[in-house]
Structures are given as C-alpha cells and as structure tokens.
Amino acid sequence: MAAPAGRRAVSNALPGYTSPMCGRYALDAPRSQLCRRFSLDQCVELAPRYNIAPGSEIPVIRQSPAGLRVLHLLRWGLLPQWAKDQSLGTTLINARGESLAAKPAFRDAFRRRRCLIPASGFYEWRAAATQGVTRKQPCYISLKSAETMALGGLWEAWTSPAGDVVRSCCIVTIGANQLLRPIHQRMPLILPPEHWQAWLAAAADQVGMLIQPLPGSELQVWPVSHRVGKATENDPALIEACTGQPQ
C-alpha cells in the first residue's frame, strides 16, 4: 500500500546519521484494536502517544506464567537484576540482537523474559543537505499495511534496596535493511505475526533465526516535523509528512 495521502514516502539514499537506535516511536491504536490484533487476554487502558521517549512507561506485551498474553506498562530502559541502582536503565534502551545471548546485561532476559512492544511506527534521523547546510531530518517509519507493528523486546523485574519492584524493558535492534540503511545503520527488530508466540515463549536457542531485519518492501518512510525532537511534543501532526521540501 502506498503512503497515505499527504504522506510522501522517502527512499532516496543519503549518508547515514548514527544516532541511538531505536529512541522514539509512536502508538496510535485503540485498546480494542490492540486486543484483537495481538489476541490479548489482559490490556491496560491506553491513550494515543505520538512521541514516546526512553524513561517513560510504555505498553509491553508478555506471556504470563499461566500462558495468558497480557499488556502492561513497563519503564523503557532495562534494569538487569544485578544493577546497583536505577541509573543503568538510562543507557540500556536498546539491545543488539546479534549479542543477546552473550552480553551480561541481556542474556538472562533473552533466555526467560522476551516481550513484544506494539508501535504504529518509529522515528529516525537522517543527514539531509539543504542549501549547502547538513541537518538531521526526522523520518517516520511504519508498515505499508498500516497495521500496528510488534517490536521485539526484553524485560526485567528489578528490586531496589528498599524492596520496590521496577519492571523495565528495552527494544532489540538489528542491522538495517536496504530501505533504512541510508538513514541509519540499525533498525528495531520487527517481528511478523507468525513469530510472535515463538518470541514470547519458545526456548532461546529456537529464536535466534527470528533476529533479522524485516524486508524493506514491507515498510514506508516519510519526513516529519523537527518538533518530534522535543519529547514534550505529542500530537497526531508529528507523524504526518512534511509538505514541500523536507523541514
């Protein structure tokens, strides 16, 4: 499906801008729609959010010990169980998919606590030259089908010295596909529906083959307003394509 009216797809190659990945995304889907798409047994109430940033509470889908598929809010920024304090979470918003089984910060969660993070789309910044000046142009990436995507994630339950439990998560990333490589070297792990259950519940040695980029043919990209760079901005216009020349 082509980009919706007023949204101009971007596919031209430009030098990559190596910012943290993935650091901003949007979720504009009613609770009822999420329940149907992800076959949820439980789901908290949600409001549309167009500029979700690290450190905030984000919707996360997990499988409960009873086998139920549930959506709760977890803090974005993984806190391993061995972390001394919560400051470590600010640096662990992403986990490289190629090394999940080996890195101490992620390997236990990869074995036992994988999750899905629903998103309407995500943002990335590319280098764009305008009148001889190079700026970082924000772009919005979504599925051509306009369906809510499922980003692969990990979650943890960390207990503070005072006994408080903090449930946190991070987004798994992988090398970018051909469409997104000109924008950034990496992209979130986007899992197709047929792999959701395996990611949530299969043994770790069975899910390595799932850690691969979604084909670029299934995605669409367009430039959006620089307002998205300010985390306090939150309105539907953030995901609309810029008109005329990229702004």
CA distances from 140 to 20, 42, 147, 167, 183 (A): 15, 29, 14, 28, 11
Closest CA to 209 of 189, 238, 188, 226: 189
Q: What is the CA radius of gyration of the chain?
A: 18
Annotation marks residue 22 as catalytic: yes
Asked about 43 being catalytic, the answer comes back as no
Question: 187: part of which helix (H) or strand (E)?
Answer: strand 186-188
The three-class DSSP label of residue 161 is coil
**Of residues 115, 124, 139, 156, which has the active-site annotation?**
124
Distances from the Cα of 34 to the Cαs of 50, 71, 85, 119, 241, in angstroms?
Answer: 16, 9, 33, 10, 25
For 129-161, b/e burial (b = at least 16 CB within 10 A) is eeeeeeeebbbbbbbeeeebbbbbbbbbebeee
3-state DSSP call for residue 10?
coil
> Is 58 in contact with 247 (CB distance < 8 Å)?
no
Tokens of 218: 């299934």
Is residue 120 within 8 Å of 33, Cβ to Cβ? no
Active site residues: 22, 124
